[in-house]
Amino acid sequence: MRTLCASTLIGELFVIGFAGLVAMKDPDLSMSTVWTVSGIAMFLCLVLCGMVTRPGGIALGWALQVALIASGFVLPTMFFLGAVFAALWWASVHYGRKIDEAKARFAAQADSTTPDAV
């Protein structure tokens, strides 16, 4: 699960950075505001890569997805991109858990068939 979720978050980091570049062109937004918000979101993506398997990591990832979708109120394209990344996040969590369960099953099966060394 960690690999899939981290991959999604790294992709999201780049999208947030590019969205910050687009948001800079909005005359109603100051550059410092755009890069403060974008920088915090990008930093959260990096931190969450390491927190995915810890308690609360998945919930924080979902909060980031909601924030990304909400950023569509500033950049309308982000409604679409946020929804795409929320779907990717769901798939990463869902299928990542299935992969982890299968790995644990195979490891347990391999341990049970290994003869005990004396």
Task: Please give the Cα distance from 93 to 5 (Å, whole number).
Answer: 7
- Contact between residue 8 and residue 85 where contact means Cβ atoms under 8 Å apart: yes
> Coil, strand or helix: which one is 1?
coil
pLDDT band at 116 (very low <50, low <70, confident <90, very high): low
Q: What is the pLDDT of residues 59-81, one digit of tens each?
A: 999 999 999 999 999 999 999 99
Q: Taking the CA atoms of 98, 64, 77 and 38 in sequence, report the sign of the dihedral they define.
A: negative
Q: What is the pLDDT of residue 113?
A: 78
- Region class of 56: left (phi > 0), else alpha (psi between -120 and 50), else beta: left
Q: What is the pLDDT of residue 106?
A: 92
What would the mean pLDDT of 41-60 be, rounded to a whole number?
A: 93
If we measure between CA atoms, which residue out of 41, 39, 37 comes closest to residue 12? 41
pLDDT band at 28 (very low <50, low <70, confident <90, very high): very high
